[in-house]
Amino acid sequence: MMFSPTLPNSYDARDRASLIHQQTDLKAYRDDGGTLMKRGEGIWVFDESGNRYLEAMAGLWSASLGFSEKRLAEAAYKQMLELPYYHTFFGKGNLPSVDLAEKLLSIAPKPMSKVLFQCSGSEANDAAIKLVWYYHNAIGKPEKKKIIGRVRGYHGNTVASVSASGQPHMHSDFDVPLPMFRHADNPNYYRFHEDGESEEDFSSRMAANLEALILAEGPETVAAFIAEPVQGGGGAITPPAGYFDKIQPILRKYDILFLVDEVICGFGRTGNLWGSETYGLVPDMVSCAKALSASYQPISALMISEPIYEALVSESDKLGSFGHGYTYGGHPVACAVALETLRIYEERDIVGHVRRVSPVMQEGFKALEDHPLVGNARGVGLIAGVELMADKAARQPFDPARKVGTLVQGKCQEVGLIVRAIGDRIAFTPPLIITDDEAAEMCSRFAKGLDAAWSELKAG
């Protein structure tokens, strides 16, 4: 059935007639439309009708410096006038990509050897998976091909990165995951711990289950484990106490590479420059994106260790070329904007600011655990997830068909707050520049959204 707009020249009608929206119920969008943003200012965005919203998700976890940082626009303009585009293929390159690669290596969470640029976090993680296979072929272990992700982990939407992701709704009818991918347990302590089980004991069980999975598959076939320090797309799930301390020795025991996805956590989100620092991770490769340029330009980076780099050199020498690349990887404008973003983080001590303001946000959400809809609120730095529960005492979730998370998300938007419903978890990752007063306002508006959703549920 063709959509017949009431106002054929409105942006809403033109949008529905021409654009596919990502991660969206397309039938509902075609019928009812959505919200189109016109401008941004600080942590606020304004739709085409002039309504103002506190953007508690920083867009897609990513607009770390908000929506009106003129220095980044000026950096892009200056670079566009000097060299608007050049590639990094065939031994060519550009100066901003060199400067940015050096800067990233100087601040990496552990010593890394080289940087490979792409345009998105999905591409960075996809490249990491390709390099895992390339590396093991180079060192004479071609049987090591399996990649282990985690249930509810999220690493992107390319065929390989979505296969590593543990997101069923992104797999259904796309014929993914690919056959060499496996998934370990979701480390959501609140939802899945057994009665009386401490966080440390839960972490031990998660680690034992991972080891059992590796042994069942055959350690000689398992190439890498990929994980976010905090699961973002899974619902802003922080790891339980001791989780990574117990996981990492198992990876080393079976010679399994550790790919750390810092796409959401990198550049201050968790109260340290890297989530790896917050949780003591020792990666073999690190992917980053989103806040790398504060999302003012599409850019991502994959940092790789020296052993992996040496294998790339050896294999490309054998084959005559390193046969991988993207047209816009290392784009000079994107690199220039990313460099300016990193300067701003340092000059304004953004990491210190996150540490100072995060207690307002975390305590504000924790106080809402008394609300009838809220089972648990948990986070770190400026990332948090609030779990909605039908029966808090029994940890009994709502029937998914009721779409309670979506209801809360809609009620929040009605009071000028943009949040992200991930099932019945509500995720928050506001711009890192949020102030104490704005964080308190965010929590207050969320409480109003919860109240409105609760009233509707009781009435219906």
SS3 per residue for 20-41: CCCCCCHHHHHHHCCCCEEEEE
Class of domain 72-347: alpha beta
Can you give the residue ranges of every domain in the chain?
35-68+349-459, 72-347
Mean pLDDT of 187-216: 97
Q: How confident is the model at residue 6 (pLDDT cuts 50, 70, 90)?
A: very low
pLDDT > 70 fraction of the chain, expressed in percent and rounded = 98
Task: Dump pLDDT digits (tens) for 150-161.
Answer: 999 999 999 999
Q: How confident is the model at residue 8 (pLDDT cuts 50, 70, 90)?
A: low
pLDDT > 90 fraction of the chain, expressed in percent and rounded = 96
Type of residue at 102: E
pLDDT of res. 7: 53
Q: What's the token pair of residue 22?
A: 């990502």
pLDDT of res. 2: 35
Task: Dump pLDDT digits (tens) for 284-330.
Answer: 999 999 999 999 999 999 999 999 999 999 999 999 999 999 999 99
Q: Are 307 and 61 in contact (CB under 8 A)?
A: no
Task: Dump pLDDT digits (tens) for 446-459.
Answer: 999 999 999 999 99
Tell me how far apart the alpha carbons of residues 275 and 459 are, in angstroms, rounded to a whole number.
42
pLDDT of 251 over the 50 cut: yes
CATH 3.30.450.20 fits 35-68+349-459, yes or no: no
Q: How confident is the model at residue 97 (pLDDT cuts 50, 70, 90)?
A: very high
Mean pLDDT of 98-124: 98
Task: Dump pLDDT digits (tens) for 209-237.
Answer: 999 999 999 999 999 999 999 999 999 99
**Mean pLDDT taken over the chain:** 96
pLDDT of res. 148: 98
> 384: which strand partners?
379, 428
